[in-house]
């Protein structure tokens, strides 16, 4: 929220107003937001798409000549510009950090299996463990919703499945809150 407020202030100072919509991982809701923004004659749209089925959104925006930039992930075969991060490298470095601190039983809780950032983070986690000769345990890799509730439930399940977990790589801030709450609720701190 703070980043949006800061970005909103910068946009306002440049003569723009920021409109924000959260589709809550619902493709139809996402498309409705794009239609609404285009109908309001916005100057451009920045989209962090739910999944790779973004061509419908692009055609709605292109028909009205509204520029689109993707963030975090892009549509399949899209020619629209994209600004993102290297999720795989970030997850690899974070896992390397945990390994460097002596952690040996690694879990990973990340987004849904159809979310490209989640897939890339899981790959980085796996590669970091593989590269150090560690043991990747597929049962300790969880793909779930980017939500507090889902991460809470999965963390409790993982801690029951493997009491020796001493590191958990988490894919989002919301999931991190769920993991921390589950650790507190379980009465044990990994590692």
Tell if the pTM clears 0.85, that is, is over it.
Answer: no
E strand or H helix at 16: none
- CA 80 to each of CA 76, 77, 94, 136, 147: distance values in angstroms, whole numbers, following the listed order: 10, 9, 30, 36, 28
pLDDT digits (tens, 9 = 90+) for 22-42: 888 788 898 999 999 999 999
- Contact call for residues 162 and 137 (beta carbons, < 8 A): yes
What tens digit of pLDDT does each residue of 85-106 get?
899 999 999 999 999 999 999 9
188 secondary structure, DSSP code: -
User: pLDDT tens digits, residue range 61-87?
Assistant: 889 999 988 887 766 556 778 888 899
Yes or no: say if 122 and 114 are a contact pair by the CB < 8 Å rule: no
Supply angle C-alpha 11, 12, 17, rounded to 5: 80
Split at pLDDT 50, 70, 90, the class of 20 is confident
At 130 the pLDDT is: 96
Residue 182 near residue 161 (C-beta atoms within 8 A): no
**Model pLDDT for residues 136-182, shown as the tens digit of each residue:** 999 999 999 989 999 999 999 999 999 999 999 999 999 999 999 99
CB 86 within 8 A of CB 110: no
Closest CA to 57 of 84, 32, 82, 79: 32
Gap between the Cα atoms of 28 and 50, Å rounded? 10
Q: Is the confidence at residue 6, as pLDDT, over 70?
A: no
d(CA 49, CA 82): 11
For residue 82, the 8-state DSSP code is E
């Amino acid at each position: 929220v703070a980043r949006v407020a800061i970005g909103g202030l910068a946009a306002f100072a440049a003569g723009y107003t920021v409109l924000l919509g959260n589709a809550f991982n619902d493709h139809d809701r996402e498309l409705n937001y794009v239609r609404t923004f285009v109908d309001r004659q916005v100057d451009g749209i920045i989209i962090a798409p739910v999944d790779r089925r973004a061509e419908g959104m692009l055609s709605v925006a292109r028909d009205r000549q509204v520029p689109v930039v993707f963030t975090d992930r892009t549509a399949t075969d899209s020619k629209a510009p994209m600004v993102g991060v290297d999720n795989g490298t970030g997850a690899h470095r974070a896992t390397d950090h945990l390994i460097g601190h002596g952690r040996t039983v690694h879990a990973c809780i990340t987004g849904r299996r159809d979310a490209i950032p989640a897939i890339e983070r899981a790959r980085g986690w796996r590669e970091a463990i593989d590269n150090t000769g560690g043991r990747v345990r597929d049962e300790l890799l969880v793909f779930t919703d980017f939500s507090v509730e889902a991460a809470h439930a999965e963390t409790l399940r993982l801690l029951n499945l493997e009491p020796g977990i001493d590191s958990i790589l988490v894919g989002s801030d919301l999931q991190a809150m769920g993991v921390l709450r589950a650790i507190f609720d379980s009465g044990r701190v990994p590692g």
